[in-house]
Amino acid sequence: MKKEGLNLIKNKRGDNPLYAETIFIIATLLFFSMLFYFVYSSTSGAGIYEEAYAKEIALLLDSIKPGTSIVMDVNDSIDIANKNKKSLDSIFSIDKEGNYVKVSLRNNYGYKFKFFSNNKISMELRGSYLIITADKNV
């Protein structure tokens, strides 16, 4: 009786090749789903866009001549901000005291980059375009 019970324990469902294969396939699918999610979230993350936009805008502000306007397509950033439920009014801002461009596509997170130009800068978001205007600082 005791020996029979031991056999039952030994003869688990895992010994069934079909069962083992199913577990293996499910584990593999789960593993790769997690991997693809990680790759997707790392490459399309808001952090990368915040850094790229902050640096791009700061370099534009440094090179823009007074009396000119630049229209920049920022559709990607708006999509990400909408996904993160971030208010569109506060995506792009300028810290005039510190001479920083700030880009924030997530609540409570962002990226800032310093520029050296002393022009009077104004930025306005119109639809999916950011309009940057520079005037001579009096």
Partner 1 sequence: MFKKIIQDKSAGEKILSFFWFVVIVGVAGAIAIAVIFHSSADINVKEIQAKVLYHKLSDCIQEKGVLREEFIKEDFDVFSFCSLNKDAFIGKEPNIYFEIVSSDLQKDISGGDAGLKGDCAISKETKAEKYPKCFFQEQTLLYSTADGIKEAKVNIYALSNQEGEGLSNG
CB of 104 to partner 1, least distance (A): 5
CB of 27 to partner 1, least distance (A): 9
Tokens of 70: 């630049």
CB of 133 to partner 1, least distance (A): 14
Output 28 or 122, the one with its CB closest to partner 1: 28
Output 39 or 71, the one with its CB closest to partner 1: 39
**Distance separating alpha carbons of residues 118 and 134, to the nearest angstrom:** 10
Residue with the two structure tokens 């009014």: 89
Tokens of 53: 């936009």
Nearest-10 crossing angle of helices 46-63, 75-83: 140
Output 59 or 71, the one with its CB closest to partner 1: 59
Residue with the two structure tokens 């019970």: 5
Output 2 or 85, the one with its CB closest to partner 1: 85
**Distance separating alpha carbons of residues 95 and 60, to the nearest angstrom:** 16
CB of 80 to partner 1, least distance (A): 14
Residue with the two structure tokens 């069962």: 19
Contact 31, 43 (CB under 8 A): no
Residues within the interface to partner 1 (CB under 8 A): 15, 17, 20, 24, 28, 31-32, 35, 38-39, 42-43, 45, 47-48, 51-52, 54-55, 59, 62-63, 66, 90, 99, 102, 104, 106-119, 136-137
